Amino acid sequence: MSTHVTQVDASNWEAEVLKSSQPVMVDFWAVWCGPCQMVAPIIEELAQEYAGKLKVAKLNTDEAPEIAGRYQIMSIPTIIFFKDGQPVEKLIGARPKQQFKQVIDSLLAQSSATA
């Protein structure tokens, strides 16, 4: 696991995601999920590329089912982008890196426009 990716669960969800001062990308995943393993290196790369601008977190749905349920996670991987504690974008399934970058860049552009 990269130093740029934050592990979140029920104990630190509020502090790390809901109260984060920067936008947060949360990867909802599980150990047994093949597509989750495929997307993991992309998540790591994005965490490094956007360090300081975007917080990247991973939540194991098997270890925090109540949070997964709260956001209606029906299939994984699901990546939800949070801004000011609110979910603003959701991507379901393994996606190419460019699709994640488009969402992140648009989110960061909105953030800097409102800042």
What is the domain partition of the chain in residue ranges? Answer: 5-109
The two structure tokens encoding residue 17: 């995601």
- Residue of 36, 40, 94, 104 marked catalytic: 36
Dihedral of alpha carbons 108, 31, 91, 68, sign: negative
The answer to whether 76 and 61 are in contact (CB under 8 A) is yes
The dotted CATH code for 5-109 is 3.40.30.10
Quick check: is 33 catalytic? Answer: yes
- Residue of 17, 33, 47, 54 marked catalytic: 33
Quick check: is 36 catalytic? Answer: yes
Kindly report, residue by residue over 34-72, the tens digit of the pLDDT: 999 999 999 999 999 999 999 999 999 999 999 999 999
Kindly report, residue by residue over 62-106, the tens digit of the pLDDT: 999 999 999 999 999 999 999 999 999 999 999 999 999 999 999
Query: Per residue in 48-87, is it b (16+ CB within 10 Å) or e — as a string?
Result: eebeeebbbbbbbbeebeebbeebebeebbbbbbbbeeee
